[in-house]
Structure 1
């Protein structure tokens, strides 16, 4: 049996409806010693999340003094204080049974260059989270055109053998501390979206492996905190943060010219599709929503509030 211990980091924002289930799932691992500590980083919730954690889960270490840090910065606040061999990133709307967490720990224990492992993740309607599909400028254009863009994209099926991949969902992921010490934590310029994509790419560039493990299964409600903001969502995402983070990610890893050309090409394809649909009297608002969102703009430097 593994002697490694896990530090859990949960970043919350108005998460009262979903957080109890997440903490209950971790409490079982805490009771057995598999989890050594749990950090709840509260991003300026207005629904009493911080007070609820203090009252109901005093075994958790609450961090609630930094305003709204966003996801990556919030995770960094917990990671910087964590002492475990591994760090489990767990969304407040996700649950991970103790036995499944143990399988993930044992998996990383057995593979020296495995830096990240994610379980199969069930969404509310039974759909499964996919792995792979790393975003590139060419993939962005292909997605807009509606042609296959990712040869490695596949769902993580419960019970499937483990497989290496380019990307896993950051909602439930176990990270090796040794990897974080080498490549660093999340880039603080990402407020929301693409922060884990950037981290996994940096890790793989440094020789670490990203794995999917079907023998472990988690649940995830998906975007529970984002849905409480009341802000307009684009394809399920908060448009400003999504497109600014996406452009920054593409610039950072592929250069400004490639990022700009890909984004402008995407907009051109969406405009052509909108015109064709209008002629067919089948209009939709995808193009209109896209051009109202940030274009060729990265997130501002400095801590967002």
Structure 2
């Protein structure tokens, strides 16, 4: 039986082949946990990348659980919970970055709102755009129809049509909501234990909707918080290939069969048909997409911590699968936080360190928005990472 409450926080991360994003994530987590009574547990779902070779050396105090097969998101989290000792459990995706004040702000908000259920947070993607799945309503019949049919795009703020993303509620305000995103969800350990954790019937996708719903059904209130916010690159851990499409819509069918038992057979058949149709259309759209642009040399401009910038300027990079091979900075250009858009074709590298925090970097992103492309680098990391859209895979530049 877990010794819940032996410390304040347990951070649980499930990893699958996103070594370099996880490295940056762990650096952000440990920075945010400074002075806190906490632990970090990483469950690796049989990754075949450099995770096992790189990460334990860099993070000796992290508890790693190395699985020999991919057990799925929910089951891997449940395994971690058997070891967790925190009063609060933070379920976190590996392709996220949390600001230095994350846990402190959560505790302040928890005291203000007296949150007794799960907590979700305002998420932005790697371009600075708000991710609407940060707050969601229960996907009942009509809500699912409006989402699957695309009507939600035509009326993004309508109370009923946009209920899936609660479009009528401001992302800049705190709200009681029904459904939270598993990319970053804080749950009191006693609540997680009471509702039985994740349903392992969901291999990946849909398990956060199911867990959120069961927490609400148990009489607890789930909260969406506008602050603290975080970066969720999303495109890295959610690769929208044919396997993604199949697993996502399979999860939706599991959810319908589980939570709409009282509905008529005709209504359930209609919902299942709508899910399958939407999945088929999504698969066709993904099949028609152009291949992603190869990762290559970019016109980088540097902003942030002076020591981190100096370290990066001395580095040489290996570009995976690029004929250009390696490159280093011949004459890097520095910019300030209020220089405005950095120019077409340029990319802003946010160099994180003691004199330039992730919270400051997120302020820059929100000030200038998706007009710029952003990359991220913590001093001492083995790579520079970034993502220009929540619909594309993340990008990694390896340091040599």
Q: What is the TM-score with the length of structure 1 in the denominator? A: 0.78
Offset at residue 111 of structure 1 (A): 4.9
Offset at residue 124 of structure 1 (A): 1.5
Q: Does 1:11 align with 2:14?
A: yes
- Which structure has the highest helix share of the two? 1
Aligned counterpart for 2:25 among listed residues 17, 22, 26: 22
Q: Does 1:133 align with 2:142?
A: no
Offset at residue 60 of structure 1 (A): 0.3
Q: Which runs of 5+ in 1 are unaligned?
A: 272-284, 293-305
Higher relative contact order (CA 8 A, sep 6+): 1
Higher alpha-carbon Rg: 2
Q: Which runs of 5+ in 2 are unaligned?
A: 1-5, 153-160, 288-400
RMSD value, Cα: 2.8
Residues in 2 aligned to 1:134 and 1:123: alpha-carbon distance in whole angstroms: 23
Q: Does 1:147 align with 2:157?
A: no
1:1-305 aligned at under 5 Å gives the runs 5-34=8-37, 36-109=38-111, 111-112=113-114, 114-130=116-132, 131-148=135-152, 149-151=161-163, 153-154=166-167, 160-227=172-239, 231-232=241-242, 238-255=244-261, 257=265, 258-265=267-274, 286=281, 289=284
Offset at residue 150 of structure 1 (A): 3.5
Offset at residue 140 of structure 1 (A): 2.3
Offset at residue 4 of structure 1 (A): 6.7
SS at match of 1:246: helix
Residues in 1 aligned to 2:70 and 2:149: alpha-carbon distance in whole angstroms: 36
Offset at residue 20 of structure 1 (A): 1.5
Residues in 1 aligned to 2:98 and 2:238: alpha-carbon distance in whole angstroms: 21
Residues in 2 aligned to 1:6 and 1:163: alpha-carbon distance in whole angstroms: 23
Offset at residue 101 of structure 1 (A): 2.1
Offset at residue 56 of structure 1 (A): 1.1
Count of residue pairs brought into register by the alignment: 267
Q: What is the TM-score with the length of structure 2 in the denominator? A: 0.61
Offset at residue 265 of structure 1 (A): 4.2
Query: Relative to 1, partners in 2 of residues 1:71 and 1:77: Cα closer, same or farther, differing over 3 Å?
Result: same
Residues 106-155 of structure 1: CA deviation (Å, up to 9, x unaligned): 33355555211122111112211221232123322233444353436139
SS at match of 1:98: coil
Deviates more, 1:189-198 or 1:46-55: 46-55
Query: Relative to 1, partners in 2 of residues 1:288 and 1:243: Cα closer, same or farther, differing over 3 Å?
Result: closer
Residues in 2 aligned to 1:187 and 1:25: alpha-carbon distance in whole angstroms: 29
